[in-house]
Amino acid sequence: MFAGIVVLIAVLLVLVVLHVLDDAFRVLREHGDLPVKANMRWSIRAIWMLLVLAVGQFFLPDGFLEPAPPTPEPLPQVATFTEDGLWSGADTARLLHLEDELEARIRYGRELIARTSAYLGPNGSVAQLTNGLNCQNCHLDAGTKPWGNNYGAVWSTYPKVRSRSGKLESVEKRVNDCMERSLNGVALDSASREMRAIVAYIEWLGTGTAKDSVPKGTGIEKLAFLDRAADPMRGHEVFNAKCVSCHGPQGEGTMSA
């Protein structure tokens, strides 16, 4: 807008000067003895056309004369896959390619998932909102482990209607479900630095995953039903081998899982 005003003033000044010169030449032609043949008529007409164009720009819609913004390139797939084709979270070294502010936000989000209690637990450095568990107690390796209740399909499938609530839920609502239920705590403000960091981390993990797609290895593996009667003794062996590290020998849970 400022540049347009400057151009308009300049055109008006040139127009005034040309009119003065034209009058001067006309007087010299009619009353002077000098053979003045200059005629400013065409110059004045050209300036009038420039004046019309300069004024007209103020009535054009914003951005009319600006070039169209470039079409953004598709986001690259940041996830990696195991030899078996299972989704696995991206290497955090790839964060170095992002702008500093975004990189810092995503790293903070990952830190909140891995060490929730340090920031939001009973003695949290940011707030005291949860029971002391970490998000990665359930979402293994900060939500990146294949079949470890990871975040591989969160960004591609949310918002979605969840069977638990029967309502359309956003990523923020899903995060707060964990805050209130699994961590027996208080919901985060959706606009808080912590929520924006967690959402940025989840979005980054889902970068390049097609909308509504669910890569193999995300969530929890669904086991086939047995073709025989369940055996509690065999179940006890599996529990001791695979489950005790998180759930404890009596199922009481462990704070340091």
Length of the chain equals 257
Q: Which domain holds residue 174?
A: 80-219
**Quick check: helix, strand or coil at residue 250?**
coil
Count up the domains in the chain and report the number. Answer: 3
In this structure, the answer to whether residues 155 and 35 fall within a common structural domain is no
Q: Is residue 152 part of a domain?
A: yes
In this structure, the answer to whether residues 164 and 189 fall within a common structural domain is yes
Question: Alpha helix (H) ranges present in 57-163?
Answer: 100-114, 116-120, 140-143, 154-157
Does pTM top 0.85 for this prediction? no
Q: Is residue 171 part of a domain?
A: yes
In this structure, the answer to whether residues 28 and 154 fall within a common structural domain is no
In this structure, the answer to whether residues 36 and 87 fall within a common structural domain is no
Per-residue tens of pLDDT for the chain, all 257 residues:
555 566 556 656 666 666 665 666 565 566 655 555 555 555 556 556 655 566 556 665 655 556 666 654 545 667 788 888 999 998 899 999 899 999 999 999 999 999 999 999 999 999 999 999 999 999 999 999 999 999 999 999 999 999 988 999 999 999 999 999 999 999 999 999 999 999 999 999 999 899 999 999 998 888 899 999 999 999 999 999 999 988 899 988 876 65
Residue that has been written with the tokens 């010299």 in this structure: 28
* Cis omega (within 30 of 0) for bond into 232: no
In this structure, the answer to whether residues 109 and 148 fall within a common structural domain is yes
In this structure, the answer to whether residues 30 and 149 fall within a common structural domain is no
